[in-house]
Structure 1
Amino acid sequence: MEKTFTITAAEGLHARPCTLLVQGVSAFQSNVTISYNGREANLKSIMGVMALAIPSGGKISVKAEGDDAAAAIAKVEDVIKSQGIGQ
């Protein structure tokens, strides 16, 4: 399962939103990855996500594979929208 988002936060994906996303998906058993600009990182790894240096306006793709993949994607979408990170 995969979903695409556009980062709208003025400062892009810096430490606080990265932490919120990582915390949001860490409870799920599925493998969850985030892709930006041809590079991919484990969404459960704060350092991996921050290393992608995703700016405001960046288009990201979040992919989940596993038994709770749909719930993991729904959680990512909830965090991104409710925290004003993107759409």
Structure 2
Amino acid sequence: MNERQVTVQLSQGLHARPATLFVKLAASFSSEIGVKKEDKHVNGKSIIGVMSLAVAKGHTVTLTAEGADARLALDALEQVLISEA
């Protein structure tokens, strides 16, 4: 399993719009994607799960990916969390 810690840089955190973008991108990969904040771990392809983490700017999350395209998934998902684009 690949793992990466990312400090969220989005000004509004992982609210509805960026969470939707994150989940859609996660779903485009064949790997299983997870997001962990503190002691809560959720499926990165679930909008309800991702929103339930209540990730704000400055929070650190751990992204996990397991599968053939795990590294590519982590690279792409990290970019969603650190850029305002």
Q: TM-score, normalised by structure 2?
A: 0.88
Identity over aligned residues, as a percent? 38
**1:6: Cα distance to partner?**
0.8
Residue number in structure 1 paired with 2:70:
69
Counterpart in the other structure of 2:51: 50
Q: Which runs of 5+ in 1 are unaligned?
A: none
> Structure 2: any 5+ residue segments left out of the alignment?
none
| AA matched with 2:47 | I
Structure 2 distance, partners of 1:82, 1:9, is 6
- What pairs with 1:1-87 in structure 2 (closer than 5 Å)? 1-83=2-84
Amino acid at match of 1:83: E
* Deviating 4+ runs (over 4 angstroms): none
SS of the residue corresponding to residue 34 of structure 2 reads: strand
* More deviation, 70-79/47-56: 70-79
Superposition RMSD in Å: 1.4
Change (3 A) 1:17 1:72: same
User: What SS does structure 1 have at the residue aligned with 2:23?
Assistant: helix
User: Contact between 2:22 and 2:77, CA under 8 Å: does it hold in 1?
Assistant: yes
SS in 1 for 2:30: coil
1:21 aligned counterpart, secondary structure: helix
Deviation at 1:30? Answer: 0.7
